[in-house]
Amino acid sequence: MKVCMVGTGYIGLVSGACFAEIGHEVVCVDNDTQKINMLNKGEIPIFEPGLGEMVKKNVRAGRLSFTTDIRKGIEQSLFIFIAVGTPPKASGEADLSGIEHVATEIGTAMVEYRIIVEKSTVPVLTGRRLRTMIEKSCTRDIEFDVASNPEFLREGAAVNEFLCPDRIVLGVESKKAEQRLLELYKPINAPKIVTDIASAELIKLTSNAFLSTKISFINAVSVLCEKTGADIVKVAEGMGMDKRIGRAFLNAGVGYGGSCFPKDLKAFISMSSELGYDFRLLKEVERINEDQMLRVVKKAEESLQYLRGRTIGILGLAFKPNTDDMRDAPSITVIKALQKAGAVVKAYDPAAIERAKKMMKGIDYCRDLYETADGVDAIILVTEWDEFKQMDLERVRRTMRKPVFIDGRNVFEPKKMKDLGFIYCGIGR
């Protein structure tokens, strides 16, 4: 089947490549000429395991192409997926101008039946707005369907999650769109849930909000663990054994970041308020997350008495391992707080240094973790890369000026670290 994917960000590029991989003919569109030129040369603008090879393979097979010409995509494809960015405005509300622009282009270029599918995360009822916008710009009376097919993929595992998802959500307004979308997804063996459009939009928003809530919940409990001598890892394990709760997303740490949770939660709170509901529970989820990032800075300060003039080594800058994504990364908040307190910051990340350099100045960016540890008064581990899990701890301990190790992701066992001579602080242990 023929697919046009508008927007070649994380979601658009991964979804486009994966649709080609399962046999469809896909044209990916973006108005960023530089990006399209890169993609046409086989260069991938994002760090995503497995994506580069998949793109090259499908381009060679003639199933995947890239263009800046949206009209071409609209003319030749039955499905037009919209995967453009919906960045937050100052109020937290999602900015839908990108979607509006695409809707106008579709309305003007469409000459026969098309299924226009929301792939970006959008506020509930955007589907309805999309229909009105397309109708307004349509000069002829053409039948079309709007649908919602939210994406749940996680950075770093996106390809696999697209091809083997927990579920596929299809929000539709007609039987025709339902049948076509089911056919499009036929090669993917996963449960498919068909709903109305608003429910599909809400499934995406509430899934992210609920996962953020799980993380803030366990982070709040970690404070109680520290006050009582309980171990958050054991508490999470015991809670997680209850099938109704589940162990996933109960890892206490420096808080959640990334391109989705912080932004989507803000947009969800703002959307709820517009609909007349003050979602205080989620406001508290946000507040706990902000506090959590600063708790590791407090721990460093408590262990060192003061931070002014101290050198702190940050291990991990990306918002999570296996990505170079720095969007809303907890490392930014941690580093800003350290610099504000007068500390000197050294930092290393296996993938995100170049991006970090563009965002944060005044940091001594290091080539590896050992260079980072050399001569520091404390280490704060912010991102749990495998490379850090396997570090030579004795070597690290020997080169540090003071052996303070703040483990913001509970990577190491407290007893082992103490036996090695570290002044060790995990989260909630």
Q: In whole angstroms, how close is the CB of 248 to ligand UDX at the nearest point?
A: 7
Q: In whole angstroms, how close is the CB of 37 to ligand UDX at the nearest point?
A: 27
Under the binding rule (CB under 6 A), the answer on residue 260 touching ligand UDX is yes
Q: Which of 153, 314, 337, 400 binds ligand UDX (CB under 6 A)?
A: 153
Identify the three-state secondary structure at position 170. strand
Catalytic-labelled residue, pool 18, 260, 366, 425: 260
Q: In whole angstroms, how close is the CB of 291 to ligand UDX at the nearest point?
A: 14
Q: Which residue shows structure tokens 């994002």?
A: 46
Under the binding rule (CB under 6 A), the answer on residue 168 touching ligand UDX is no
Taking residues 303 to 342 in sequence order and writing x for each that binds ligand UDX by CB under 6 A, - otherwise, the string is ----------------xx----------------------
d(CA 221, CA 226): 9
Q: In whole angstroms, how close is the CB of 237 to ligand UDX at the nearest point?
A: 12
Q: In whole angstroms, how close is the CB of 326 to ligand UDX at the nearest point?
A: 11
d(CA 427, CA 31): 44
Under the binding rule (CB under 6 A), the answer on residue 49 touching ligand UDX is no
Under the binding rule (CB under 6 A), the answer on residue 256 touching ligand UDX is yes
Under the binding rule (CB under 6 A), the answer on residue 402 touching ligand UDX is no
Under the binding rule (CB under 6 A), the answer on residue 347 touching ligand UDX is no
Interaction with ligand UDX in 56-115: which residues (CB under 6 A)? none
Under the binding rule (CB under 6 A), the answer on residue 217 touching ligand UDX is no
Under the binding rule (CB under 6 A), the answer on residue 426 touching ligand UDX is no
Per rule CB under 6 A, count of chain residues that contact ligand UDX: 19
| Structure letter (DSSP) for residue 88 | B
Under the binding rule (CB under 6 A), the answer on residue 257 touching ligand UDX is yes
Q: Tell which residue, 318, 358, 310, 355, has the closest CA to residue 337.
A: 310
What are the tokens at 215?
């993380």
Under the binding rule (CB under 6 A), the answer on residue 50 touching ligand UDX is no
Under the binding rule (CB under 6 A), the answer on residue 154 touching ligand UDX is yes
d(CA 419, CA 299): 20
Q: Which of 79, 144, 152, 388 binds ligand UDX (CB under 6 A)?
A: 152
Under the binding rule (CB under 6 A), the answer on residue 216 touching ligand UDX is no
What are the tokens at 87?
């960045």
d(CA 347, CA 345): 6
Q: Which of 19, 79, 261, 405 binds ligand UDX (CB under 6 A)?
A: 261
Q: Which of 85, 123, 253, 403 binds ligand UDX (CB under 6 A)?
A: 253
Q: Tell which residue, 166, 147, 145, 146, has the closest CA to residue 157.
A: 166
d(CA 258, CA 155): 9
Q: In whole angstroms, how close is the CB of 268 to ligand UDX at the nearest point?
A: 13
Under the binding rule (CB under 6 A), the answer on residue 215 touching ligand UDX is yes
Q: Which is nearer to ligand UDX, 150 or 313 (CB)?
A: 150
Under the binding rule (CB under 6 A), the answer on residue 388 touching ligand UDX is no
- Helical packing angle, 197-228 and 126-137, nearest 10°: 140
- What are the backbone angles phi and psi of residue 314, rounded to the nearest 5°? -100, 125
Q: Tell which residue, 74, 40, 35, 43, has the closest CA to residue 59.
A: 40
Task: Provide the phi-psi class of 22: left if phi over 0, else alpha when psi is between -120 and 50, else beta.
Answer: alpha
Sheet holding 423-425, edge to edge: 363-365, 344-348, 311-315, 378-381, 404-407, 423-425
Under the binding rule (CB under 6 A), the answer on residue 223 touching ligand UDX is no
d(CA 278, CA 217): 19
| DSSP secondary structure letters along 408-427 | TT--S-HHHHHHTT-EEE-S
Under the binding rule (CB under 6 A), the answer on residue 220 touching ligand UDX is no
Our answer to whether residue 225 is catalytic in this structure is: no
Under the binding rule (CB under 6 A), the answer on residue 262 touching ligand UDX is no
Q: Which of 16, 258, 313, 350 binds ligand UDX (CB under 6 A)?
A: 258
Q: Which residue shows structure tokens 């932004």?
A: 263
What are the tokens at 405?
């190790």
d(CA 429, CA 419): 16
Under the binding rule (CB under 6 A), the answer on residue 251 touching ligand UDX is yes
Query: Which residues make beta-bridge pairs with 348?
Result: 315
Indicate which residues carry an active-site annotation: 260
Chain residues that interact with ligand UDX, rule: CB under 6 A: 151-155, 208, 211, 215, 249-251, 253, 256-258, 260-261, 319-320
